[in-house]
Amino acid sequence: MFSDELERLRQENLLRRVCDRDLEATTARILINGAEYINFSSNDYLGLASHPSITEAAKRAIDGYGLGSGASRLLSGGTELHGKLERMAAEFKGTEAALVFNSGYTANISAIPSIAGAIAGKGDVIFSDEFNHASIIDGCRLSKAKKVIYRHRDTSHLSELIKKEEGKRKIVITDTVFSMDGDIAPLKEISDICREHNAIVYIDDAHGTGVLGDGRGALEHFGIKPEPWPNAQIIQMGTFSKALGSYGAYIAADRDVIEWLINTARGFIYSTALPASIIAASIEALQILQKDTILVKKLWQNRERLLKGIRELGFDTMNSETPIIPIIVGDMETTLKFSELLTKHNIYAPAIRPPTVKIPRIRITVTASHTEEDIDKLLDVLSKITQ
């Protein structure tokens, strides 16, 4: 049975393979089977994953706390470092409290059902952008709430839909930076709509944290203050695993929201805690980001250089506004061949295909670690491929 389905995927150019990298890779370079490529597929936007002070912090924590944590946070798996990171994340995001989760996916599939089911049987309604991440979609499915999908970044459509659900508790959920398109949610308009209709705003700032708003994320980018209820209610999910170069995620919100998640979020309650070494790495990464925004500035300089060059070559980059730059080159087969040609020129940028996206593309992500020479090499290769 599975062999037939796998063959169908192969015939439709949808079969995926795991590609593990070798030792000694960095953000801008990747080694695969001994060959080196310039890596334009990493979400390590600031190049912190191999930062020496971060790796040293992790090593010190292993020496002090051991490797595994051995239990959930509600038992004996947490350390003083976990609490410190949560206090730092809350201060960083301007909220009363924060709670660490094992991954962004775990955070969304745990927090969304917990929040949407906070008042069981009261008819909660979730409004979700049609291009939201799979973890948001799955979190919505797991909730007890009614699900309403609004057109991508279409606040007029959202406003129209939300008016139809008066008398019910409403939660609007959106990515801040959409990971496959590279565009940004119109959070100011969304926030205004939610304030007008007394709705909760839940944002997934995984690709915004460390990237937007001098690194502080999407709310800072738009000048939005995370005011406590009842003036507003903004719940922020963010990760340590992308721009911060570590691993794990957090929810930052009012203290009551965090207390509720501690008591009801299944992914928190029933998961072994992240090891202290990972927490220590996240603490160090957050401290680096708060001390200096030079890496954020370098990221955006690289992004502007690359985007300008790609567009001058005539490629369709959709509505990219961030270091995520999709390149539309044709159908599935054409996109796969395009990626293979990039690989032959030692550029690593895998094709992105359905069901992840509706339109196949090469998804380029530029980082602060890329040099001008790296960017110019990609532009030169893109130029040669199109000739």
Q: What is the pLDDT of residues 177-217, one digit of tens each?
A: 999 999 999 999 999 999 999 999 999 999 999 999 999 99
Q: Collapsing DSSP states into helix, strand and coil, what is residue 230?
A: coil
Strands 361-365 and 29-32: unpaired
3-state secondary structure of 172: strand
Helix (H, G, I), strand (E, B) or coil at 128: strand
Q: In whole angstroms, give the CA distance from residue 20 to residue 285.
A: 25
Handedness of CA 301, 302, 305, 306 (dihedral sign): negative
**How high is the pLDDT of residue 229?**
63
Cis peptide, bond prior to residue 228, ω within 30 of zero: no
**Topology given in CATH for the domain delimited by 52-291:** Aspartate Aminotransferase; domain 2 (3.40.640)
| 207 catalytically annotated | yes
Residue 269, classified by CB atoms within 10 Å of its CB into exposed (0-12), middle (13-18) or buried (19+), is: middle
Block residue for tokens 């509600």:
74
Q: Exactly one of 69, 110, 179, 271 is catalytic; which is it?
A: 179
pLDDT at 228: 67
Among 218, 235, 228, 266, smallest CA distance to 171 is for 235
Residue 35 has a pLDDT of: 87
Is the pTM higher than 0.85? The answer reads yes
Determine whether 157 is an active site residue. Answer: no
Domain ranges of the chain: 13-42+293-386, 52-291
Q: Are strands 170-175 and 125-129 parallel, antiparallel or unpaired?
A: parallel
- Set 133, 221, 242, 370: catalytic member: 242
The list of the chain residues with pLDDT below 70 reads 23-26, 118-122, 228-232, 387
Q: d(Cα 95, Cα 13) in Å, to the nearest integer?
A: 45
pLDDT given for residue 227 in this prediction: 74
Active site residue 110: no
Residue-wise pLDDT for 336-365, tens only, equals 999 999 999 999 999 999 998 999 999 999
Identify the H or E element spanning 168.
Answer: none
Q: Does domain 13-42+293-386 have CATH number 3.40.710.10?
A: no
Domains 13-42+293-386 and 52-291 are alike in CATH topology = no
Marked catalytic residue, from 82, 93, 207, 221? 207
Query: So what's the pLDDT on residue 328?
Result: 96
Cα separation, 104 vs 52, in Å, equals 25
What integer pLDDT is reported at residue 230 of this predicted model? 61
Q: Tell the residue number behind the tokens 């110019």, with chain if given.
A: 376
